[in-house]
C-alpha cells in the first residue's frame, strides 16, 4: 500500500494538481511495486504552535471526495476526535488515520474506537483505521491502542514514523514481533523530517518487508503550509518509485527478513545516540575548560577524576560489565576532554 499526498490540504486546486500529477505519471499510476495507491491530505492539523496553519478542517472533505471522483484514488485523512471521524466517514473518506500525538493519549484513542463501533453499525461497513506510533516511544501504548481499535471491530494497520526525527526502530521491531498479522507501514517523511532522507528510508522499509509507505508529496514543497522540508515533488516521487520498482521487482514481496536486519538498524541507531552523547560531553567539557581558565584552575583535577572513575566502576559492577574495559574507555574520554579544555 502506498499512501501519498500533501501534509495538509491547502485548496481544492492544490489537491487536484497533485492527484493529477500522480495520475499522469506512468510509474506512479502503475504503483509499482505496490498494489494500491491511496491519496492522503491532512485537514485537522495537530500543530505545536497555535499560530501555525491549523488546517482547513471540514471544508476540505469535499475537496478530497473530488480527488476520489476525478482520479479514482481512495482517499485518507487524519482524525483526532470522534466528531472529526464522524464527519470524515459521513463524507465518504475511505481510510482514516490516527496521528502520533493522538496516539499518545489512550482516552482519545478509546473515544475514537467507540465512534468506530457506532459508525460501523450505522454505515454497515468495516472501517479501516491506521494508527501511528505515539511520539513518546511507548510501544506498549501503541499496541494497546491497536487492541482498542480491533476490539471495536476496525480493520487496523500500523504506521511507524519514529519520534522527534529519530527512527526508534525498536518500536517497529517489537510491534512486528508481537502483532505479526497487523500490517505495518513506514512514514519516512515524518521519521526523517527531510525530503532527501525519504528515498533511503523507503528502501529500508521494503528491505524489512514492511507492508507499505506513507509519503508526503506536495506540488510546491517550498511553499507548503506545513512540513515544507520533508515533502517530495511528484517528480521526485516518480524517480523514487522507479528505483524501488527496479530493486524490488516482485510485487508480492512477502519474504520477512531475519532478525539480523532489524537488530543492525537498532545497533546503528544506538551508535548514533552514543556518538551524539560523546559530542555533547565534549561541548560540556569545553564550557568547563572556559570556566577553569577564567578562575585560574588547573585543567587536570585528579581528585575529581578519581571520583568519576570510582562511581563508574561501581556502576559497571552492577551491570556486569568488565571493569577493565570501562576504565579504559573512561581514560580515553578523559584524555580527549583534557585536550578540549587546554
Binding site for ligand PEP (CB under 6 A): 7, 42, 46, 78, 99-101, 132, 161, 187, 190
Q: Which residue is nearest to Mn ion (CB)?
A: 7
Choose the one of ligand PEP, Mn ion, none that binds residue 185, judging by a C-beta under 5 to 8 angstroms depending on kind.
none
Choose the one of ligand PEP, Mn ion, none that binds residue 5, judging by a C-beta under 5 to 8 angstroms depending on kind.
none
- Residue 4 φ then ψ, to 5°: -135, 150
Q: How many residues of this chain interact with Mn ion, rule: CB under 5 A?
A: 2
Torsion, Cα 144 147 152 157, to 10 degrees, reads 110
Q: Which three cell numbers stand for residue 293?
A: 581558565
| Residues with Cβ within 8 Å of residue 80, at least 6 apart in sequence | 44, 46, 98, 99, 101, 102, 108
Choose the one of ligand PEP, Mn ion, none that binds residue 160, judging by a C-beta under 5 to 8 angstroms depending on kind.
none
Site string for Mn ion, 161-180 (x = CB under 5 A): --------------------
Q: Is 94 in the site for Mn ion (CB under 5 A)?
A: no
Separation of alpha carbons 128 and 171, rounded Å: 22
Q: Which residue is nearest to ligand PEP (CB)?
A: 99
Site string for Mn ion, 4-23 (x = CB under 5 A): ---x----------------
CB of 99 to ligand PEP, least distance (A): 3
* Measured CA distances, 8 to 16, 70, 228, 309 (Å): 13, 19, 10, 52
Q: Which residue has the cell 482516552?
A: 107
Separation of alpha carbons 217 and 22, rounded Å: 10
| Minimum CB distance to ligand PEP smaller for 161 or for 176 | 161
The piece of 2-10, 93-101, 242-250, 283-291 that touches Mn ion (CB under 5 A) is 2-10
Q: 194 to 253, contacts with Mn ion by CB under 5 A?
A: 227
Separation of alpha carbons 305 and 214, rounded Å: 50
Q: CB–CB of 165/135 below 8 Å?
A: no
| Minimum CB distance to ligand PEP smaller for 143 or for 158 | 158
Query: Cα-atom radius of gyration of the chain, to the nearest Å?
Result: 24
Amino acid at each position: 500500500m502506498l499512501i501519498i499526498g500533501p501534509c495538509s490540504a491547502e485548496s481544492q486546486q492544490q489537491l487536484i494538481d497533485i492527484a493529477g500529477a500522480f495520475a499522469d505519471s506512468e510509474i506512479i499510476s502503475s504503483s509499482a511495486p505496490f498494489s494500491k495507491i491511496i491519496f492522503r491530505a491532512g485537514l485537522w492539523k495537530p500543530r505545536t504552535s497555535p499560530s501555525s496553519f491549523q488546517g482547513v478542517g471540514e471544508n476540505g472533505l469535499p475537496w478530497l471526495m473530488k480527488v476520489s471522483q476525478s482520479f479514482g484514488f481512495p482517499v485518507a485523512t487524519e482524525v483526532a476526535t470522534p466528531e472529526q471521524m464522524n464527519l470524515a466517514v459521513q463524507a465518504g473518506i475511505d481510510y482514516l488515520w490516527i496521528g502520533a500525538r493522538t496516539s499518545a493519549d489512550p482516552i482519545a484513542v478509546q473515544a475514537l474506537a467507540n465512534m468506530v463501533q457506532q459508525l460501523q453499525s450505522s454505515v454497515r461497513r468495516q472501517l479501516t483505521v491506521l494508527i501511528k506510533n505515539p511520539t513518546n516511544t511507548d510501544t506498549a501504548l501503541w499496541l494497546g491502542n491497536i487492541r482498542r481499535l480491533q476490539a471495536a471491530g476496525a480493520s487496523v494497520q500500523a504506521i511507524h514514523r519514529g519520534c522527534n526525527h529519530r527512527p526508534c526502530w525498536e518500536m517497529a521491531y517489537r510491534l512486528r514481533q508481537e502483532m505479526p498479522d497487523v500490517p505495518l507501514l513506514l512514514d519516512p517523511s515524518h521519521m526523517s523530517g527531510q525530503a532527501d532522507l525519504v528515498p533511503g528510508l523507503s528502501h529500508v522499509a521494503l528491505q524489512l518487508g514492511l507492508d507499505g509507505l506513507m509519503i508526503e508529496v506536495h506540488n510546491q514543497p517550498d511553499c507548503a503550509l506545513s512540513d515544507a522540508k520533508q515533502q517530495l515533488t511528484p517528480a521526485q516521487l516518480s524517480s523514487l518509485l522507479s528505483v524501488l520498482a527496479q530493486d524490488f521487482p516482485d510485487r508480492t514481496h512477502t519474504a520477512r527478513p531475519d532478525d539480523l536486519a532489524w537488530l543492525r538498524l537498532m545497533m546503528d541507531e544506538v551508535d548514533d545516540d552514543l556518538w551524539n552523547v560523546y559530542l555533547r560531553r565534549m561541548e560540556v567539557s569545553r564550557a568547563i575548560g572556559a570556566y577553569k581558565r577564567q578562575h585560574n584552575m588547573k585543567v587536570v583535577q585528579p581528585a575529581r577524576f578519581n571520583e568519576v572513575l570510582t562511581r563508574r566502576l561501581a556502576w559497571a559492577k552492577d551491570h556486569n560489565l568488565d571493569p577493565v574495559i570501562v576504565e579504559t574507555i573512561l581514560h580515553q574520554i578523559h584524555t580527549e576532554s583534557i585536550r578540549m579544555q587546554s
